[in-house]
Amino acid sequence: MVKFGFRLPDFPLDNSDSARFHRQIIENMDAVSEGGFDSAWVADHFIPWASWKPEDSPTVECWTTLAHLSAKYPDLTWGPIVLCQSYRNPAVLAKKVAALCAFIPGKFVFGIGAGWKDNEYRMYNFPFPKASVRIKQMEEQIEIAKRLWTEDRVTWEGEHYAVYDCIVSPKPDPVPPVMVGGGGEKLTLRVAAKHADWWNFQGGTVDYFTHKLNVLKEHCDAVGRDFDEIVQTWSVSCVAIGDTEQEAEQIARKSPFFTEDGAIYGTPEQLVEKFQERAEAGCQHFQLRFADFPGTEGVARFGREVLPHVR
């Protein structure tokens, strides 16, 4: 069954202060919960990732937000999209995940990425090595987490990270799936082939998605992994629904996340066709950002008029 998730905005899209922005999130989450969505996703940044947004804009902190909202909406599956491996000690992060899973067992996806926002690294005093190093660090983070979630005591040394006689208790039961975010064809997709239970694709066209899947398949073949074991996910940054295609396009183009090749808009019937096409291409789980946020009509109407028909 094709599943759908809601991607929370991580900073206001209007001039709202922090209090109003958080009310907007809750209003949208109420619509998500009532609309039959399967999951919700939170980005991991300390300042707005978009260059057009002032750096001092209110910005949610990923882990705090996940902990609070997963308690408020326990029927949803929750995950970061995606955690920056550099921002938390690997063993401490594995412990934090295990602790959250004790409250929402089977309802958490461990989304992890290599990190990319260099000014954010500098601002918070994290080292920013070259991409190949950050990707290797991500792989070591995954290795440490999986061991700590399944073994009693762990001693493990990698090139960048290590743990010594380390304990995580309680263990997550079940162990959460690992979702690797990123589309780098030489390194990131190879890590996904080796370690990911889910893979996250960001934006783009059906042809581009298909190309990335083919590269991932090649890496799976090279490392002896069954490609069909990996859940394919697609994050869509701009979704708009309207009574006519023209109305939906107008809504979409008002969004700062609109791109010609990444936005998906149309009438309910057109959206059903577009998401069915992407599901047929291989996507099993969509994460959607709606163009009319902070309004709730887009997400509510999608839940009523699109989601059931694509499923």
pLDDT in tens, 29-43: 999 999 999 999 999
User: Contact, 262 vs 204, CB < 8 A?
Assistant: yes
* Euclidean distance between the first and the last CA atom of the chain, given in angstroms as a whole number: 6
pTM > 0.85: yes
Sequence ranges of the domains in the chain: 3-310
Residue type, 16: S
258: which 2 tokens? 């609109």
User: Contact, 294 vs 23, CB < 8 A?
Assistant: no
Strand partners, 95: none
Task: Select from 287, 237, 285 the least CA-distant residue to 262.
Answer: 237
CATH number belonging to the domain at 3-310, selected among 3.20.20.370, 3.20.20.30, 3.40.50.300, 1.10.230.10: 3.20.20.30
Cis peptide before 174 (omega within 30 of 0): yes
Tell me the per-residue pLDDT of 95-127, one tens digit each, with 9 for 90 and over: 999 999 999 999 999 999 999 999 999 999 999
Q: For the chain, how big is the Rg over CA atoms in Å?
A: 19
Tell me the per-residue pLDDT of 176-231, one tens digit each, with 9 for 90 and over: 999 999 999 999 999 999 999 999 999 899 999 999 999 999 999 999 999 999 99
Measured distance CA(264)–CA(196) in Å, rounded? 27
Measured distance CA(239)–CA(290) in Å, rounded? 5
